[in-house]
A and B are shown apart, each in its own frame.
Chain A
């Protein structure tokens, strides 16, 4: 059985709004999630993406047992999350990027000690895990600093350590790199890849940062208006979105638009020209054709912008 099994999941919210200047109240049902079906096997790294209000957080809250589904089938590690919430909590780790699970007034070390008590982590395993994560996430100098004095990046690393001390099988990360600088993002991604490779931890990642997805996830689930509009590997997402790669050509002299088979000029700026061609096509014959007919000073290839791909997917799904 899949580690996460979601079938026809539905979640509606009742929204009451006032009309006629507050004299009458109307009751609206909003379907935050509907007809959602997917499964995740142990050890997968899955990106769960979608625009604001698409139902990402609602799904994560149902998967972690915070919210009870309205209808549908949901099993995580064989458990019904909202019914077996406490039992499930031992087996999952959750990081909400914009909210900390740590205690503001306590030093990082004390927050971790509290979590050891809550999860009843045996002392030896706790020490080994703490030692390891503190080393890998470079938190040693911050252990005695109250959480409110930590930088955003340090706090995020603290939160990730907090979510991993009890060796969860599944780690949910909600916007883990939000607000982090480029170096911190890179290190965090490296850490998560290593965690998955070494411990087989299943990762479910919601993010707006598509570089997170490109760096971490073999598989992407795109959700829009409460239901999955795409589920598959990243390259397939490119293909489905009809995305293109770009060949940037620097000519020795200015020239009219280059004409080669298989590529179209999108832009000309002095001696530099931008040619686009389908993602699945090989760049080699196009490069060869350009080089055969023109004096080329330099060449480079830009990979497709996944953000555009997804935007395209949303607009078609809407």
Chain B
């Protein structure tokens, strides 16, 4: 089956993704003024987001046992993750709209795997604002880490895993729209909601929530566990140290689950019609 080929031979559809995305970028930057305004606007909105946390620290020194730069590390890691995922596949949220308008039918008559078409459709660089802001915050936080080669490696793994985790979550929760086309807000609760939760140290939440975010909705792997390793902190909840190395595994599980649910969703759609 074609979808199976997507799983086995990822480079082919990825190349198509790149070609389609490039054409959208070309179309977008053909209006440079409007493009520049959108990117700057998005950067300003995101910049203010972290300013809020920074202002909070003018009256407190620590939050959940973490100082501002440490929180900036958490914030930057999750921000880059969701920013990259949102840039690459943000359109997947629009599945419900595609179903309602019949666009999905059109896509099903094109010789490109559906997920590639949906993710690359209306690709826009304006979402780069979030990545830029998160990167600035992360870079500002870097001195708080006592860098060693293994910590550099962990930082890279963290950025890749958090992107992959959010990619999986976006796809996973967007699939609900194959069954209920208006489920977009419900999906946002988990993706953007998950992003907001992980901007803070999990120590401000009850232990039960931290465990739930490890085993049920594993967004603690986005930044919490890798950052504990980077900061050389023992697990505040007394959970096993090896969890700090499990982010790639968590990402692989979520992405695989997402692709399987996606296939089920497409099959459900093509066997029920619009």
B-contacting residues of A (Cβ < 8 Å)? 13-14, 58, 61, 64-68, 82-87, 89-90, 92, 94, 96, 99, 101, 103, 105-107, 110, 113-115, 117-120
Choose, from B130-138, B163-171, B266-274, the stretch at the interface.
Answer: B266-274
User: B27 contacts which chain A residues (CB < 8 A)?
Assistant: 105-107, 110
Interface size on B, as a range, is 20 to 34
Which residue of the partner chain, among A66, A83, A117, contacts B23 with CB atoms under 8 Å?
A117
Taking the closest CB of chain B, its distance from the CB of A97, in whole angstroms, is 12
Taking the closest CB of chain A, its distance from the CB of B175, in whole angstroms, is 18
Contact B273 A86 (CB under 8 A): no
Taking the closest CB of chain B, its distance from the CB of A226, in whole angstroms, is 14
Choose, from B89-97, B101-109, B255-263, the stretch at the interface.
Answer: B101-109
B20 within 8 A of A: yes
B2 within 8 A of A: yes
B110 within 8 A of A: yes
B113 within 8 A of A: yes
A105 CA to B103 CA, complexed, in Å: 15
Q: A83-B1, A96-B105, A101-B106 are in contact. Are A68 and B20 (CB under 8 A)?
A: no
Contact A68 B1 (CB under 8 A): no
A110 CA to B27 CA, complexed, in Å: 8
**Secondary structure call for the B interface:** helix
Would you list 21 pairs from A and B whose C-beta atoms are within 8 A, ordered by A residue?
Answer: A64-B108, A65-B108, A65-B270, A67-B271, A68-B270, A82-B270, A83-B1, A86-B2, A86-B111, A86-B113, A90-B111, A94-B106, A94-B109, A96-B105, A96-B106, A101-B109, A103-B122, A110-B23, A110-B26, A110-B27, A119-B110
Contact A85 B20 (CB under 8 A): no
A-contacting residues of B (Cβ < 8 Å)? 1-2, 16, 19-20, 23, 26-27, 101-103, 105-106, 108-113, 117, 122, 267, 270-273
A71 CA to B111 CA, complexed, in Å: 25
Contact B2 A113 (CB under 8 A): no
Taking the closest CB of chain A, its distance from the CB of B88, in whole angstroms, is 17
A115 CA to B271 CA, complexed, in Å: 26
Contact A113 B23 (CB under 8 A): yes
Q: Which 3 A-B pairs have the closest CB atoms?
A: A89-B111, A86-B2, A117-B19
Taking the closest CB of chain B, its distance from the CB of A178, in whole angstroms, is 15
Contact A118 B270 (CB under 8 A): no
